[in-house]
Structure 1
Amino acid sequence: MPSDASPDPYLEPLSFGQRMEVLRNRRGMSRPVLAGLLGMSPSWVKQVERGRLGVPKLAMILRIAEVLRIRDLSELTGSQAMATDLFIGPGHARLAAVAEVINAFPLRAEDRQAPPPEHLAARLSRAWAARHSAPNHRDVVGALLPGLIRDAQLTARQAETSAQRRAAQAVLAETYSLSQFFLAYQPESALLWRVAERGMVAAQESDDPHAIGVAAWLLAQAHRDAARFDAADAITHETLRYLEPLLPDAADDVLAIAGALRFEAGYTAARRGDKGVAWGYWDQARAAADRLPKGYYHPVTSFSRAVMGAHAVTIAVELHAGGESVRQAAATEATTIPSRPRRARHRIEEARGYQLDGQVDTALAMLERAHEAAPETIRYNGYARRIVLEETESRQPARRQRASQLAVRLGMLTA
């Protein structure tokens, strides 16, 4: 191996610090940025990486894994005894059926007549409504997706005029968007990228601003979750430049997706640790939400007036500002988020904030409320899994028991 090459943590027996350095560099993250996100000093990071400090305690290992978006703790520790998935949940029972139809490439024309785009759009609308109202939303969506994907693909293939083709591609793009919600955090990351990219292609073919905005919103999230912040920003900002001239006369759904993209730009900035930029985009998103009708709720992104408080909690949490997270959580307590999975995610973000602020019992209470709202959301959420796993090692017996009971409900521990 050349002397200037980085060692591969999968081929060579490396120390914890060496693994952390390699994985940090693979994320394109500097020591000061990692230190800031961990609430430590750059000197501390350097000393850990150089082996001058011992392996951190479990709580810090979990936070390093969270910041570096490490899916399996063994990647960081080198120990198969800690082969624990954090950001990948269990494979859903309906995953195989959904994967089969996504992977299929029919070469022969089907005999049946494809449903019209308007019919598919109505089915998609019912599917989104079912997702928002169901505690077991992956089960509900997973049952609907195979038929929706097949019919949307068939409608796109049988379109005869350019107008029909654009309408069919818009519906196909939204079908792939629904698929991405089902596939997120499941052990089929290749499928997630496939539908995200197919959705973007179909949206571009549709020439529909709303379809393009939704596909870009989801593709940017995929890049951000992979710590590809520059790629996430490029997609977000390019789409906003495309939408901006359309906004003065735009319908509510286009206004909403533009607002959602502005928040996504703030979310990415917060993940980077850029406080001023993050809150600046949150302000822009709030202004966009204020232009929407009071009761409006975007069916894909959940963007609305009601969700802006939850978005504020997310920005504060990503900036690792515990006190501000708790303040924002208190300010949004009276707000009702219509979607069960989105409400559960908000409770998880609150839990992160309360843990950052040292209020661990309140954090566990928020996770319990998340489980009540939508068990499938918390079961697949890496942040929730990290908090629960960390607190199963608590020195306080009551807290340890509470976290262990929640871990059993999440399928992380056996009863």
Structure 2
Amino acid sequence: MPTDAAPDPYSDPLVFGQRLQILRTRRGLTRDQLGGLAGRSGSWVKGVETGRLKTPKLQVILRLAEILRVRDLSELTGDQSVRVSLFAGPGHARLPEVKAAVECFPYGTDRTAPPSAELRFRLAGAWAARHSAPHHRDVIGALLPDLIRDGRAAVLQAETVEARRAAQAVLAEVYSLSQFFVAYQPDAALLWRVAERGLIAAQESEDPHAIGVAAWLATQAHRDAGPAGLDAADDINLRTLAYLKPLLPEASDDVLAIAGALTFEAGYTAARRGETGTAWRYWDQARSMAARLHEDYYHPVTSFSQAIMGAHAVTVAVELHQGGESVRQAAAADAVTIPSRPRRARHRIEEARGYQLDGQPDAALATLGQAHEAAPETIRYNGYAKKIVLEEAESKSPARRRRASRLAVKLGMLAA
């Protein structure tokens, strides 16, 4: 064991400042970078880490946890009596089945691959179920194991180069669906395995749409890994956009939509960095691409469409910590119905973040209630929603505390 290895926050009863320093170092952040992202100075971070300054209030702790992407709040606080998962969910009951299918060695199977048309039909049904079911992981978790095994079998049993490429495109999309299931589950290694296999299958397919979807999901995985992953997110995103650009003048709606989705993701990453002009410029480019699509078009994987651009504007404003702008964008977007239940819930969560930034905690809690009505499973696994609920559960307002506590019970954060 190297003597200069970073200590484990759980190995000793470390104080808050020591835990903060360990987790900051693991994320590859300097004190100035962490301080800037938290609205503080580098010297403030040093003061907390060295114990010169006392442990900050819950609101600041939650912001630090958000930046550092800690799996559980106790990683940062050291308090094992109150374990609250933030950016990783408690683990879905079907996760072991999906993981077994992903990790199963595919050679030597006696499984007969179904026809490609049947696989496509089943995959389309799985996407439709994901968008319509409030408990979407229950539904797609039941479908994924057979889809993964049959998709692999189709690749192995393809008799021509063209058939193999077509099968790889289907398999890439199966892995994309899998990534939606695995996201925010307590198995980061599985998430990266699925993302990488999706990229490989898409590349083997030589299908522009499959390549775009796999890159879109890989971009999100890198960005959600924390500040240290932003460069990797940009690299895969912008390289894929450069590959797709020559195809766009005569592209199908699906290829145009995935290029639009990737364009917005570039803006999302820029907003995460605090690059205001770049973030809004990419959003505006994505909006122009959405305008080329039919009014009723809705991309089955990314939700990219004319209808989603208002929700995307809310996200950009929130990531830039522009409270008033995010509320204004939320009001403009509210008249548009997002067809997908989980995407609608995600939008409500982003709206709630905006309301909280704007100093409207009651509106934030009400909007989280709407998110729960749309898709309980989405909000249950969302760290930002949990952060708002935790913070308002300590409000000075008794009515707000009760409201936040009731929502915490629904999310499984507190016992009833």
For 2:341 and 2:22, how far apart are their aligned partners in 1?
A: 39
Q: Which residue of 2 aligns with 1:240?
A: 241
Q: How does 1:254-293 map to 2 (within 5 A)?
A: 254-293=255-294
Q: Which runs of 5+ in 1 are unaligned?
A: none
Contact 1:37 1:319 in 2 (8 A): no
Deviations along 1:189-231, whole A, 9 cap, x unmatched?
2211111110000000000000000001101111111121111
Q: What letter corresponds to residue 312 of structure 2 in structure 1?
A: H
Q: Specify whether residues 81 and 210 from structure 1 end up closer, same or farther in structure 2 by C-alpha distance, changes over 3 A only.
A: same
TM-score, normalising length: structure 1: 0.95
Q: Which residue of 2 aligns with 1:352?
A: 353
Contact 1:33 1:272 in 2 (8 A): no
- The alpha-carbon deviation at position 310 of structure 1 amounts to 0.6
Q: Which residue of 2 aligns with 1:194?
A: 193
Deviations along 1:285-313, whole A, 9 cap, x unmatched?
11111111111110000011111111111
Deviations along 1:22-63, whole A, 9 cap, x unmatched?
322322334444333323344433332332211011121111
Q: What letter corresponds to residue 180 of structure 1 in structure 2?
A: Q
SS of equivalent residue, structure 1 residue 81: coil
Q: Which residue of 2 aligns with 1:339?
A: 340
- Of residues 198-207 and 55-64 in structure 1, the stretch that sits farther from structure 2 once superposed is 55-64
For 2:255 and 2:32, how far apart are their aligned partners in 1?
A: 38
RMSD (Å), alpha carbons? 1.8
Contact 1:156 1:169 in 2 (8 A): yes
For 2:2 and 2:164, how far apart are their aligned partners in 1?
A: 53
Contact 1:344 1:370 in 2 (8 A): yes
Q: Which residue of 2 aligns with 1:396?
A: 397
For 1:255 and 1:117, how far apart are their aligned partners in 2?
A: 24
Contact 1:134 1:140 in 2 (8 A): yes
Q: What letter corresponds to residue 189 of structure 2 in structure 1?
A: A
Q: Specify whether residues 109 and 11 from structure 1 end up closer, same or farther in structure 2 by C-alpha distance, changes over 3 A only.
A: closer
Contact 1:39 1:320 in 2 (8 A): no
Contact 1:200 1:212 in 2 (8 A): yes
For 1:383 and 1:298, how far apart are their aligned partners in 2?
A: 25
Deviations along 1:145-172, whole A, 9 cap, x unmatched?
1121111111111001000000000000
Q: What letter corresponds to residue 246 of structure 1 in structure 2?
A: L
Q: Which residue of 1 aligns with 2:55?
A: 55
Q: Specify whether residues 382 and 372 from structure 1 end up closer, same or farther in structure 2 by C-alpha distance, changes over 3 A only.
A: same
Q: Does 1:141 align with 2:140?
A: yes
Q: Which residue of 2 aligns with 1:150?
A: 149
Q: Specify whether residues 178 and 5 from structure 1 end up closer, same or farther in structure 2 by C-alpha distance, changes over 3 A only.
A: closer
Q: What letter corresponds to residue 263 of structure 1 in structure 2?
A: F
Q: Does 1:115 align with 2:110?
A: no
Q: Which residue of 1 aligns with 2:22?
A: 22
For 1:214 and 1:375, how far apart are their aligned partners in 2?
A: 26
SS of equivalent residue, structure 2 residue 81: helix
- The alpha-carbon deviation at position 250 of structure 1 amounts to 0.7
* Residues matched between the structures, number: 414
For 1:373 and 1:61, how far apart are their aligned partners in 2?
A: 29
Contact 1:313 1:350 in 2 (8 A): yes
For 1:67 and 1:128, how far apart are their aligned partners in 2?
A: 31
Deviations along 1:268-301, whole A, 9 cap, x unmatched?
1111222222112111111111111111110000
Q: What letter corresponds to residue 29 of structure 2 in structure 1?
A: M
Contact 2:169 2:201 in 1 (8 A): yes
For 1:44 and 1:358, how far apart are their aligned partners in 2?
A: 24
Q: What letter corresponds to residue 328 of structure 2 in structure 1?
A: R
Deviations along 1:111-139, whole A, 9 cap, x unmatched?
x5311222211211111111111111111
Q: How does 1:35-46 map to 2 (within 5 A)?
A: 35-46=35-46
Q: Which residue of 1 aligns with 2:67?
A: 67
- The alpha-carbon deviation at position 103 of structure 1 amounts to 1.6
- The alpha-carbon deviation at position 102 of structure 1 amounts to 1.3
Q: What letter corresponds to residue 259 of structure 2 in structure 1?
A: A
For 1:248 and 1:71, how far apart are their aligned partners in 2?
A: 43
SS of equivalent residue, structure 1 residue 371: helix
- The alpha-carbon deviation at position 3 of structure 1 amounts to 10
SS of equivalent residue, structure 1 residue 75: helix
Q: How does 1:156-167 map to 2 (within 5 A)?
A: 156-167=155-166
Q: What letter corresponds to residue 334 of structure 1 in structure 2?
A: A
Q: Which residue of 2 aligns with 1:363?
A: 364
- The alpha-carbon deviation at position 12 of structure 1 amounts to 5.4
Q: Which residue of 1 aligns with 2:410?
A: 409
SS of equivalent residue, structure 1 residue 60: helix
Q: What letter corresponds to residue 216 of structure 1 in structure 2?
A: A
Contact 2:106 2:153 in 1 (8 A): no
Q: Percent identity?
A: 72
Q: What letter corresponds to residue 185 of structure 2 in structure 1?
A: Q
- The alpha-carbon deviation at position 344 of structure 1 amounts to 0.2
Q: Which runs of 5+ in 2 are unaligned?
A: none
Q: What letter corresponds to residue 182 of structure 1 in structure 2?
A: F
Contact 2:379 2:411 in 1 (8 A): yes
Q: What letter corresponds to residue 247 of structure 2 in structure 1?
A: L
SS of equivalent residue, structure 2 residue 223: helix
